Structure 1
Amino acid sequence: MQAGPVITIAAAAFLDRDGRTLLVRKRGSPFFMQPGGKIDAGETPREALVRELREELDLEVDAGDFAYAGLFSEEAANEPDTMVKAHVFVSFRPVEARALAEIEEARWFPLQGEPDAAFARLTENHILPLARRALAEGRYR
């Protein structure tokens, strides 16, 4: 693992019963990733998640809609020489997201098959495998 700055975030893995997950792409980035963002001073990861989903996707969610799945680390997608530590929360809550703020695009991706887009390393290496296992095992419902 590389030395350098670390960004700590909260991220949502929304899953639906059709085997898809909601991903977002920030303006100016080619990479899709889970919605969420940086945790502000004094915020818990759950509070940051609720705030970020409201600001970026116009979603009004409750912290209780999510199950904590763990803390994952990976190279950041959009910040060179930076690591991201993500508190990941999973939800089967049906949502209709609307891209706001720095989010250029929000769309549902199938968890199986070849993707038609580039994914952030955190998404590709940690969150998609977690989501596939969760769906297969019926967890987080």
Structure 2
Amino acid sequence: MKVIRIAAALLIGADGRTLLVRKRGTQAFMQPGGKIDAGESPAQALARELHEELGLVVAAEQAQFLGEFSAVAANEPGFEVNCQLYRLDVAQDLVPAAEIEEVVWIDAGSVDHLHLAPLTRDSILPLYRQLIA
């Protein structure tokens, strides 16, 4: 299976909720982030993507590495995503930009009403619930 290398953020707001995004033309909500370009570190890719997608300006060194996770890609059939996940605590308002159509803040409760990417559903949200418990 082909692998897409991405960096993603577990963004945690001042109220403890976390942010999910949905890209234009897709159904699945997932963590903000994106593909790591050649010559970029995962943290650099994350900082670039957060700026492009949400207008969020962060320094790469602010991101706290949480681990590496893999899952079937939500939007690219036949691909797997390999994700370097980072935690960032944010206080400012975030505005969807670039390919992001919708953002939603969720808490550790039920997200059954949302269509979630496999990586988000199976790996990242369980970790989020442990972190804020």
Superposition TM-score, scaled by structure 2 size: 0.94
Q: Which residue of 2 aligns with 1:36?
A: 33
Measured after TM superposition, the shift of residue 111 of structure 1 is 1.7
Which deviates further from its counterpart, 114-123 or 127-136? 114-123
Distance 1:17 1:59, change over 3 A: closer
CA distance in 2, matches of 1:77, 1:89: 19
Counterpart of 1:87, as a letter, is: Q
Q: Which residue of 1 aligns with 2:69?
A: 72
Q: How far does the alpha carbon of each residue in 1:79-101 deviate from its partner, in whole angstroms, 9 at most, with x for none?
A: 00110000000122223211111
Seq. identity, %:
49
CA distance in 2, matches of 1:19, 1:54: 21
In the alignment, is residue 121 of structure 1 matched against residue 122 of structure 2? no
Q: Which residue of 1 aligns with 2:85?
A: 88
CA distance in 1, matches of 2:63, 2:112: 25
- Name stretches of at least 5 consecutive residues in structure 2 with no aligned partner: none
CA distance in 1, matches of 2:37, 2:72: 20
2:97 alignment partner, SS class: coil
Q: Which residue of 2 aligns with 1:10?
A: 7
Q: How many residues align?
A: 133
Q: How far does the alpha carbon of each residue in 1:53-77 deviate from its partner, in whole angstroms, 9 at most, with x for none?
A: 0011111112232210000000000
Q: Which one of the candidate residues 32, 46, 49 is aligned to 1:49? A: 46
Q: Which runs of 4+ in 1 moved over 4 A?
A: none
In the alignment, is residue 105 of structure 1 matched against residue 102 of structure 2? yes
Measured after TM superposition, the shift of residue 115 of structure 1 is 3.4
